[in-house]
Homo-oligomer: A and B are copies of this chain.
Amino acid sequence: MQKNIETFITDTLHKKGMRMTRPKKKFLDFFTSEEYLKTPQELLENIKQHNIDIGLTTVYRMLNYLMEAGLTKAYSINGELRYIFCPPDHHYHMICVKCLRVKNIFDCPVKDVKVDGFKIQSHQVDFFGICDECSKKEVNK
């Protein structure tokens, strides 16, 4: 986890009277640098593989907190909810439909769109495609 992200999240926690603890830090270390959409279970297993022991409850509590804070997004894929950390800047997602890798796109391709009687408050663009690594694998098959 980058130092500035840790500081940023610690600050948002403190503003809500919450504390930055060892389990939270360990979870964030992993989650903020994870590139793939993961289920809560997978996140826990991945973290335990690094010989770090935290509880599933903590994973759920952190995911819920980060969702509320707008720092995480959930996708429903094949009936499973999968999560990705979203750095604070507004951005778009490029999702590989094969390996579920997520790339953040900061160069906004749609700006100030107004449609019909709707006042647009926010918009999200999610591209689903094949990442370069999965493309290579396909050629080799």
CA distance A127 to B120 in the complex (A): 7
Specify the main secondary structure of chain A where it touches its partner.
Answer: strand
> Nearest-CB distance from A43 to chain B (Å)?
16
A121 neighbours in B (Cβ, 8 Å): 97, 128-130
CA distance A116 to B131 in the complex (A): 9
Inter-chain contact B109/A131, CB cutoff 8 Å: no
A132 neighbours in B (Cβ, 8 Å): 116-118
CA distance A98 to B110 in the complex (A): 23
Instruction: Count contacts on A: residues with CB < 8 A to the other chain.
Output: 34
Choose one: B119, B122, B127; the contact of A123 (CB below 8 Å).
Answer: B127
Inter-chain contact B118/A129, CB cutoff 8 Å: yes
Interface presence of A113 (CB below 8 A): yes
CA distance A67 to B131 in the complex (A): 24
